[in-house]
Amino acid sequence: MQSLKEIIDSPVTTYKGSEATKSMVEEQLIAKYGKAELKNLDCYHNMRTFHSWLNLGWKIRRGEKAIKSITFVEQKDANGNILKQFRRPVFLFYYRQVEKIGTAK
């Protein structure tokens, strides 16, 4: 099992870099942790879905609420041409909301 520092230092998320979704996440982090926490925000390393954290050996702390964001999914034809694009919600958890599996408070 990787340590939290190793997870944060390794680029394994699928974040694509939208400024609109980053600002949505920033607003929610400010409300939860305060403006000073923005210096630690790195969407490529310390924001993950429930299953992504679970696969890395970490679980969401009891009572934590997801940070809501969106992504766009593309529907393609057999040739790979984009037919349509639709919006899908994504529920993320910040590194301060997780703990190693097997640890309890």
pLDDT tens, residue order, the chain (105 aa) = 567 666 666 655 666 667 788 889 999 999 999 999 999 998 888 899 999 999 889 999 999 999 999 888 888 899 989 889 888 899 999 999 999 998 665
Q: Which residues 6+ apart lie within 8 Å of 28 measured at CB?
A: 67, 68
Count how many domains the chain has: 1
User: SS3 helix, strand, coil % of the chain, rounded to 5?
Assistant: 35, 30, 35
> Can you point out the beta strands (E) in the chain?
47-49, 58-60, 67-76, 82-94, 98-100
In the block, which residue shows the tokens 């301060």?
A: 96
Range of the domain at 60: 4-9+17-100
Residue 53 within any structural domain of the chain: yes
Residue 105 within any structural domain of the chain: no
Token pair for residue 36? Answer: 């000073």
State if pTM tops 0.85.
no
